[in-house]
Amino acid sequence: MSENGRYEIFPFSAIAGQEELKLALLLAAIEPQVGGVLVEGPRGTAKTTAARALASLMAPAPFVSLPLGCSLEHLVGSLDLAEALGRQTLRLAPGLLAKAHEGVLYVDEINLLPDALVDVLLDAAASGTHRIERDGLSHQHPARFVLIGTMNPQEGRLRPQLLDRLGLSVEVSNLSDPTQRSQVVRARLAFDRNPQAFHAAWEPSQKALAQRLAYARRLVAAIQDEQIPEIVWETIARYCVENAVDGLRADIVMLRAAKAFAAWRTASACGSEESAKESAESAVVGPEDVNAVSEFVLRHRRQSPTALQPLTNQPPSENQRKPAKQSPPSPRPAREPASQVSATPPQAPPGDRIPENEPSTEARTATENTSANYSTNNDWGEMVPQPVAAAARSNPQLQNWLTTLSHAFAEEAPTKKAPPPK
């Protein structure tokens, strides 16, 4: 990075607040195999500023920003057409994955990136290598980088399968403390006014932080899994079981993050590189290291505890164990013989006239009988048919239409002729 380019980046140690974000980024820089960091939060919360500042802290590490409209060829590389046409040789033009080796690969709005590109990114971040099989070429190159993806939850979320493959997750929010907000504004205005003077004021803190990060990266490489106490393994397993995470990726990431935090904690007590090398054996992972990083690992993987219990293995509830009490069937009233049903409807007294829109007693009786018979012989979800008389009396227009239609059929009906005499 050039001298002028270094002054254009806000110092990492000068970022006020967002302590969880800074710690998660440092853990990913110490142990890139954790699988990157997903930063969720609204705009203007120092997500991009912190990512660029981390790359300057790892100088001369490269900082590669993935554009939103990036293609697969741009990401993984493609055939170098200039070499193929000019020198008649097949050569692979490196993509952004190769350029980000030993540096930081920053993806803004990772939730808006196509899933195919996100899969390639996560595969390379987890394995540390990338293999290309395309255009008649077969090439493999190292791709060890710190993956930092930012997203605004209001613009959509990633699929759960992709979320699980991102190692750590951090949620940032707007600063609510007025004193801290004014401090951030003053620092930003001072940086914009004179970047060189601002960097000079923070140079001692930046240098000490860079040395501490370099020591921690050496310490984490010296921690062997055989030296980790059994209580650490049990604590990690208990965290993952209680939060009902899928698979074992969370266990592996939590162990790597705990090792990185133990190295970072140990390196903070070292004053020089020689003392850091001597204290490599003292960088022991403990349960407190697991507690410090557990929320980073579980925040985007946590599920309901009942999600892992199959339905067939769940014990029956109290209502399922007790047989349902069946009530005795109610006696059905005997139906009136057809001969006893009056052919003509009973006439209401002159003072009790039935309104035009209200069905008569005959219509109500027919509807109730039809509903009772229909509910016992047919499915309960079907509609009960309505008698024509009830529908006609409740709708005068329909009644007039039926009367006109019956008269028309009566006029058109052919008259029967008497048979001729024999």
What is the predicted pLDDT for the residue at 128? 84
The secondary structure of residue 108, as a DSSP letter, is T
Among the ranges given (70-84, 99-113, 343-357), the one the predictor scored with the smallest mean pLDDT: 343-357
Q: Is the pLDDT of residue 416 over 60?
A: no
Nearest to 143 by CA among 111, 121, 175: 121
Termini Cα distance of the chain: 126
Q: Is 17 left (phi over 0), alpha (psi -120 to 50) or beta?
A: left
Q: Is the pLDDT of residue 331 over 90?
A: no
Q: Is the pLDDT of residue 42 over 90?
A: no
Average pLDDT over residues 166-185: 90
Q: For helices 47-57 and 19-30, what crossing angle results, to 10°? A: 40
| DSSP-derived secondary structure for 242-295 | HTT-SSSHHHHHHHHHHHHHHHHHHHTT--SHHHHHHGGGG----HHHHHHHHH
Q: Would you say 49 and 279 are in contact if contact means Cβ atoms under 8 Å apart?
A: no
Query: Which burial class, exposed, middle or buried, applies to 45 when counting CB atoms under 10 A from its CB (0-12, 13-18, 19+)?
Result: buried
Helix residue ranges per DSSP H, 223-248: 230-242
Q: Would you say 122 and 164 are in contact if contact means Cβ atoms under 8 Å apart?
A: no
What is the predicted pLDDT for the residue at 29? 93
Average pLDDT over the chain, rounded to whole? Answer: 76
- Classify 78 as helix, strand or coil: strand
Q: How far apart are CA 255 and CA 236, in angstroms?
A: 7
pLDDT in tens, 355-371: 444 555 555 555 455 44
- Classify 64 as helix, strand or coil: strand
Q: Give the residue with greater pLDDT, 412 vs 175.
A: 175
Q: Would you say 15 and 49 are in contact if contact means Cβ atoms under 8 Å apart?
A: yes
What is the predicted pLDDT for the residue at 56? 86
Q: Where are the domains of the chain?
A: 1-199, 220-307
Other beta carbons within 10 angstroms of residue 263's beta carbon come to: 28
Q: Is the pLDDT of residue 258 over 80?
A: yes
Q: Is the pLDDT of residue 275 over 60?
A: no
Instruction: Return the beta strands (E) in 80-136 as ranges.
Output: 92-94, 104-107, 129-134
pLDDT in tens, 60-90: 888 999 887 888 888 888 777 777 677 777 7
Q: Would you say 117 and 72 are in contact if contact means Cβ atoms under 8 Å apart?
A: yes
Q: How far apart are CA 96 and CA 70, in angstroms?
A: 10
Q: How far apart are CA 365 and CA 211, in angstroms?
A: 94
What is the predicted pLDDT for the residue at 306? 47
Topology at the third CATH level for domain 1-199: Rossmann fold (3.40.50)
What is the predicted pLDDT for the residue at 311? 40
What is the predicted pLDDT for the residue at 26? 95
Q: Is the pLDDT of residue 295 over 90?
A: yes
What is the predicted pLDDT for the residue at 418? 54
pLDDT in tens, 110-168: 888 888 888 888 888 888 888 887 767 777 888 888 899 998 888 888 887 788 888 99
What is the predicted pLDDT for the residue at 236? 96
What is the predicted pLDDT for the residue at 215? 92
What is the predicted pLDDT for the residue at 352? 47
Q: How far apart are CA 97 and CA 139, in angstroms?
A: 13
Q: How far apart are CA 150 and CA 112, in angstroms?
A: 10
What is the predicted pLDDT for the residue at 382? 43
- Among the options 249, 256, 301, 393, which is catalytic? 249
What is the predicted pLDDT for the residue at 307? 44
Cα radius of gyration (the chain): 39
- Classify 422 as helix, strand or coil: coil
Q: What percent of the chain has pLDDT over 90?
A: 29
- Classify 37 as helix, strand or coil: strand
What is the predicted pLDDT for the residue at 321? 46
Query: Which burial class, exposed, middle or buried, applies to 370 when counting CB atoms under 10 A from its CB (0-12, 13-18, 19+)?
Result: middle
Q: How far apart are CA 274 and CA 283, in angstroms?
A: 15
Model pTM score: 0.67
Helix residue ranges per DSSP H, 110-226: 115-127, 160-165, 178-193, 195-222
pLDDT band at 175; cut points 50, 70, 90:
confident
Assigned token pair, 292: 């410090």
pLDDT band at 328; cut points 50, 70, 90:
low
Average pLDDT over residues 329-339: 47
**Active-site annotation holds for 249:** yes
What is the predicted pLDDT for the residue at 417? 54
Q: Is the pLDDT of residue 353 over 50?
A: no
pLDDT band at 55; cut points 50, 70, 90:
confident
What is the predicted pLDDT for the residue at 305? 52
Cα–Cα distances (Å) from 127 to 75, 131, 150, in that order, read 16, 11, 21
Q: How far apart are CA 277 and CA 294, in angstroms?
A: 27
202 phi and psi, to 5 degrees?
-100, 10
Q: How far apart are CA 215 and CA 384, in angstroms?
A: 81
Average pLDDT over residues 240-260: 93
What is the predicted pLDDT for the residue at 118? 87
Cα–Cα distances (Å) from 141 to 98, 192, 208, in that order, read 7, 39, 33
Other beta carbons within 10 angstroms of residue 369's beta carbon come to: 13
pLDDT in tens, 365-400: 554 554 444 444 444 444 445 555 555 566 677 677
Q: Is the pLDDT of residue 338 over 60?
A: no
pLDDT band at 298; cut points 50, 70, 90:
very high
